[in-house]
Amino acid sequence: MSAAEDVARDLLARTSGRITTARLTALSALLSLGRAATHTDLHRQAPDMDRVSLYRALDWLAEQGLASRITDADGVWRYEASVPGADHHHPHFQCSRCHQTTCIEIEGGLTVRLPAGFTQEKIEVLVKGLCRTCSLVSVPLGKTTKARRPA
């Protein structure tokens, strides 16, 4: 039983819900992975768990505040472990070449001035670009970009 699994069990015990293997597996995967991962990423870590059960476990974790769910640059959900109390509103960076998502530390909350009457629930900031390793290579991976010469 890994360290992540112990922590997971402990966190689950603090909720009003049941401690099931699916939730344990999902949460430990999130904890050990450490960064925002897609359902597919996570399912790779736990191939024996049913796809749908994983979705449901992750969504439940998000409801409980133990995970947060964001949309990545390709419109796919990404999940990451989060601390129940403090809401997890830091920006993320996604590399357009290797698609890895990185959390960005930030001092002082990002704020945007909304028009009158609007109420804010959450804010999602996603920076796209090249990560350190991909910056060096610079040639896009997969999906070859078709050159288009100006007139």
Partner DNA sequence: CGTGAAGTGCAATCCAGTTGCATGAAACAC
Partner DNA sequence: GTGTTTCATGCAACTGGATTGCACTTCACG
Residues that bind Mn ion (CB under 5 A): 80, 103
Q: Which two tokens stand for residue 59?
A: 């969504």
Burial of 135 (0-12, 13-18, 19+ CB in 10 A): exposed
With CB under 7 A as the contact rule, the residue among 33, 49, 62, 98 that binds DNA is 49
Which tokens go with 36?
A: 């925002």
Of 1-9, 56-64, 81-89, 108-116, the window that binds DNA (rule: CB under 7 A) is 56-64
As a whole number of angstroms, the distance between CA 52 and CA 62 comes to 15
Strand partners, 77: 71
Q: Is 96 in the site for DNA (CB under 7 A)?
A: no
CB of 108 to a copy of itself, least distance (A): 11
The closest residue (CB) to Mn ion is: 103
- DSSP one-letter code for 96: T
CB closer to DNA out of 86 and 147 = 147
CB of 48 to a copy of itself, least distance (A): 27
Binding site for Zn ion (CB under 5 A): 95, 97-98, 131, 134
Residues binding DNA (CB under 7 A): 17-23, 38-40, 49-53, 55-57, 59-60, 75-77
